Amino acid sequence: MLEVFGRRPYLVLLVMALLLAPVPFLQLNDYIVHVLTLFLIFAVFATGWNITLGLLGLKTLGHHAFFAIGAYASALVSHYFGVSPWITMWLGALIAAVAGIIIGFPILRIRSMPHVAIVTLAFAEIVRLVFANLKDITRGELGFWGIPPFNPIGIGDTAIRFGLGNAAGSFALAAVLFVGVHLILLLLLRGRCGLTFLAIRDAEAAAESLGVRLAAWKLFAFGISAAVVGLSGAVYAHYLMILTPTSVAGPEMLISLLAMIIVGGVGRFFGPIYGALLLTATSELLRDFGDYRMLLYGALIIVFVFIAPAGIAGLKPRLGRKPAEATKPVEAV
């Protein structure tokens, strides 16, 4: 598990937390704080996706559907029933988890990775179409607005406000989410769960022959992964306060997030975080280049994939690995 987590994962997370902590107090302009908030939300999204994609090794390409499910579920319930977003965000995560487990069932029976990819991709497309067509409830592509921001929290005389335009509060919320989710996942994945997920990834048949109950563990992984992604979707919804099916469950979301995970490092715990930071921050930093922005952005991704095929998180001294033996053997049945 060393290559997944590194030597001192808790220390790394602590360093990240310490870097984030002062940001709301630095009086930075809202633009920067907004970009950092997006980075944190997408980092949680990417980390959640990485559980099935990188740790379990399934080529699941439909996690933007769980993001949309978490976002819409939380937004709809809080809007129509007046429930506080502080509660509905968990509901969003829960509903996403249930959806994850449901889509997990057909995937259990599929051995071929291209088919897993197609099934999950199709699932996401179905979810997008459903949200687009439930016009009476979601207003379809016209956009669902009227999503309440998180209720303010009062500390002494000052109230911390959230939602668009309340940059510091929104950032603080996203940072707490980011650190909290990663801490919980570290506790979970450094133990039995992570060990079993990685065993399934590396040699599914061997793991099963050694007493690992594949079906249960895979469904569990889908549930956890979808819950994390759904939670990030809920926070996104109450932050931006507008949702359209295409913007949350469309192909662009899929591509951006996959790029973050791949550039950061598939199957490395901290990889998606570095990927999310790099891509969110550079796509904004490159604005100074005007029309060349997306060209440079694309070139950057290609360069990173070449110089760091294992992702940013994989850029570390190699652990005495012999290149000739680095390839994974496959079972011949």
86-115 binders of other proteins (CB under 8 A): none
Backbone angles phi, psi at 145, to 5 degrees: -120, 170
Stretch that binds other proteins, among 100-108, 152-160, 175-183, 320-328 (CB under 8 A): 320-328
Q: Does 184 bind other proteins (CB under 8 A)?
A: no
Binding to other proteins in span 159-178, by CB under 8 A = 163-166
Please report, as residue ranges, which positions from 259 to 278 form the binding site for other proteins (by CB under 8 A).
267, 270, 273-274, 277-278
Alpha-helical (H) ranges within the chain are: 2-5, 9-20, 30-50, 63-81, 85-108, 113-133, 135-138, 167-189, 192-202, 204-209, 214-240, 245-249, 251-264, 271-285, 293-307
Instruction: Name the residue nearer to other proteins (CB basis): 155 or 319.
Output: 319
- Cβ proximity to other proteins: between 123 and 304 the closer is 304
d(CA 251, CA 124): 9
* Phi and psi, residue 242, nearest 5°: -150, 140
| CB 99, min distance to other proteins, A | 23
Listed ranges 69-77, 115-123, 180-188, 321-329: which one lies at the site for other proteins (CB under 8 A): 321-329
Q: Does 313 bind other proteins (CB under 8 A)?
A: yes
CB of 256 to other proteins, least distance (A): 9
- Measured CA to CA, the distance from residue 80 to residue 139 in angstroms comes to 13
Q: Under DSSP, is residue 138 helix (H, G, I), strand (E, B) or coil?
A: helix
Q: Closest separation between CB of residue 76 and other proteins, Å?
A: 16
DSSP 126: H
Taking the least distance from each CB to other proteins, the nearer of 7 and 157 is: 7
Site for other proteins in 27-46 (CB under 8 A): 28-32, 34-36, 38
Q: Which two tokens stand for residue 22?
A: 């002062």
CB of 40 to other proteins, least distance (A): 11
Separation between Cα atoms, residue 163 and residue 238, nearest integer Å: 6
Choose between 18 and 156: whose C-beta lies nearer to other proteins: 18
The answer to whether 307 contacts other proteins (rule: CB under 8 A) is: no
Angle, alpha carbons 60-249-152 (nearest 5°)? 115
Among 113, 195, 303, 305, binds other proteins (CB under 8 A): 195
